[in-house]
Every structure is written in structure tokens, then in C-alpha cells.
Amino acid sequence: MVVAILILYGLLALVATLNLLLMRRPGSVVEGDSFSILIPARDEASNLAELIPLVKSQSGGTPKIYVFDDESSDGTAEVASNLGAIVVGPRESLPSGWTGKNRACHELAKAAAEDSDAKWYLFLDADARPNPDFLNAMRDLARQAGPRAGVLTGFPTIQSGQGVQPLFLAWVGWVLLAMNPFGVVSRTGLGHNRFTNGQIHAWRAEIYTRLWPNEQVKSHVLEDVMMGRLCAREGVKIEVANLSRVLKVRMYDTWRKTLDGMSKNSFEITGSYVGSAVLALFFSLCALGWLLAGTQWPIALGLLVWSGLMVANTVRSAIWPVLFMPLACLIGGFTILRSAWWKRKGKTVWKGRTYI
């Protein structure tokens, strides 16, 4: 038992450390592939007022910027248009069977396919904040990844919200970066990164228009992970990079918004009630397993904390939640069970829409 627990925590620490060391960190290339920026937006006027000027001031030149106004009520379209973006509007109310973000991204790509000759479609959430060198870094990432890479994605700096909010988000980065050897896959070419980050992902235009991935996963609220799995089935290489130098994202301001935001889609990590229960149990084991390690408990707990520290350094997030990794894991397990409950009761509500 003790040996098994130490192996578990050791593997988590090893994967998190290797990701910190091996994931590509793009430099800067002025000349290279062209990108169009595609931004899905529902009531994001204030965010767009900050984001669009940052995109337009990129040191590598101003790309075409497309914004999908997803039935907003706060003047999103007007703000985007006044700032020089190409605004795409819905032809009808959200069709049955679609989530809002999937419809938005699909329509954005259709507009770009008709209007742009860019080699890449780069999707950005409205709460993203790129540095001036962001596009040059993406060009360099495309160069490093090589022609076989069909999708570029990665982890930005995660900016902290208020109070204990970082503690309610710590498990998300940890479950991704301590359990998926992105860096090893990137450097060796072995296996497949079955993941895209919905905050930032770029697709080769010919790959996107061949697969139309948002349409294929149109009913899923965890569309980024589902598209990663789709790419694995289709043999499309995904490059997952460390983008913390060139991109920042503040996902949520408060712990309650974080809990609700993660509850809306965590069920789809496994896609089943049994799977969600098993995953929540695994989180509980990670949180409390060190108590079963006998005299080796300091080593077991130290490895758990180390894995959290490596993840926090990768995404440049707040360090203090690392000291409470057992609690962060319990919050993760609770969030997954809460998400399954929402799904069961048909209460998955996000931005004014209910998803069954």
C-alpha cells in the first residue's frame, strides 16, 4: 500500500516537472505564417474594449479580427465594430443541439474561410490578454512544431481572482499538467496530445475546414477536450505549449463564479455518472492518500505539494494554494460530483442558457 501511494504521488510529481521543463516556450519570429483572430463573444463589451486594441497593436502586424456577437445585450457588436473588428452575427437564434460557443466558433471559421487567406485560424476567448509579441510567438510555435502540427494550443498565465478564488481553480491546471505528459509527447512524437485549450487554440485553415470540429462536437460544453479527442481519432497532431510569457487570462473573479464555471462542464471529462464518481474518488485518494503512507507520509505529501508547485510555475499562477493541495483536490472532486448533479437535473446553465 505504502509503495503504491508513493508511486502515485511520484508519477504526478514527475509528469508535472517534465511539463515545466519540456513544453515548448515559443520565442519570436516576425516573418512566418499568417493568422486570423477569431473571438466568440456573448456580452463581452468590456472585455473586447481591452482585447481588440491589444491584438491590433501586435508587433508582427495587425491581423484580421473577427468577432461573433452571440445574441449579446450589452453592445458587444457595436464595441467590436467601432474598434475595427469584423462582426459576424447569428442568422437565427441558437439552434437546438448546439452550445453557444460551438456555434460562435463555427460561424467565425466560416466567415474567415470566405474572407481571409490566413494559414491559421486563432481562436481567443474575450478574457485573454496578449502581450505585444503574442503573434510573433505563435508564428515561432508554428515553426517549431513543424508542418505536421495541425493545431497549436497551450497554457497562458492564469491571473488570480479575489480572496480564495485561486484555490477553487488550482485543481484544473493540476489535473491537466500533472496527469498528461504534454512535453514528452511534444519532444518525442510518441503518443498524441488529446487536448486543446478553449481559451487559446489555433488551427491550420485546411485542417479546420476539413474537419469543422466545432460542428462535430456541437452539443458538448467541454468542446475543447472533445476536439482534442477528435484530433486524435483523425491523426491530427496537436502542439501543447507553455504560452505564459505571451498571454494572460483571468477566468473568474470569485470563488463562486469559479465553482459554477467548472461545474458547467466537468461532467464531460468522463461523460458518464459512473466515470464522474470514479474520478471524484481518485481526487479524494490524491487528497488523502498520504495519510495512509505510514511513516512515509512526509514524502508522499511532499510529492503532492511538489506536483502542485510545478504546475503553478508552469502557468505562473498564485503559489499559496500549493500549500493546500489536499484541499484543492477535494474541491476538484466536489466540483465533478456537482457537475454530474447539474447534468442529472438538467441545470447546466451558462450565460443565460440551459444545456440538457
Output the CA torsion 229→334→347→39 (10° steps).
-50
pLDDT digits (tens, 9 = 90+) for 76-107: 999 999 999 999 999 889 999 999 999 999 99
Q: Quote the pLDDT of residue 186.
A: 93
Tens of pLDDT, residue by residue over 305-329, are 999 999 999 999 999 999 999 999 9
Q: Is the pLDDT of residue 151 over 90?
A: yes
HSE (CB half, 13 Å, CA atoms) of 3?
0
Residue 245 has pLDDT above 80, yes or no: yes
Whole-prediction pTM: 0.92
Residues in CB range of 150: below 8 A, 6 or more apart: 203, 204, 207, 231, 236, 237, 238
Share of the chain above pLDDT 70, in %: 98
329: Cβ contacts below 8 Å, ≥ 6 apart = 171, 174, 283, 284, 286, 287, 304
pLDDT the model gives residue 345: 85
The grid cell for 351 is: 450565460
Q: 247: which strand partners?
A: 130
| Percent over 90 (pLDDT), the chain | 84
- Which residues have CB under 8 Å from 159's CB, separation 6+? 248, 249, 250, 317
For the stretch 13-56, pLDDT in tens is 999 999 999 999 999 988 889 999 999 999 999 999 999 999 99
* Count of Cβ atoms closer than 10 Å to residue 148 Cβ: 10
Q: For 208-237, how does the pLDDT look when each residue is reduced to its tens digit (9 = 90+)? A: 999 999 999 999 989 999 999 999 999 999
Q: Which residues contact 77 (CB under 8 A, 6 or more apart)?
A: 67, 69, 87, 89
Q: How confident is the model at residue 19, as a pLDDT? A: 98
Where exactly are the structural domains of the chain? 2-20+256-355, 23-161+181-251
Q: Is the CA virtual torsion 44, 47, 53, 59 positive or negative?
A: negative
347: pLDDT strictly greater than 90 = no
Full DSSP string of 19-34: HHHHS------SSS--
Residues 6+ apart with CB under 8 A from 274: none
- Helical pair 273-288 and 2-22, crossing angle rounded to 10 deg: 100
- Residue 347, CA atoms < 13 Å, CB-side half-sphere: 9
Q: What are the Cα distances from residue 146, in Å, to 143, 185, 188, 229? A: 5, 14, 13, 21
β-pairing verdict for 120-124 and 35-41: parallel
Q: Is the domain defined by 23-161+181-251 classed in CATH 3.30.2270.10? A: no
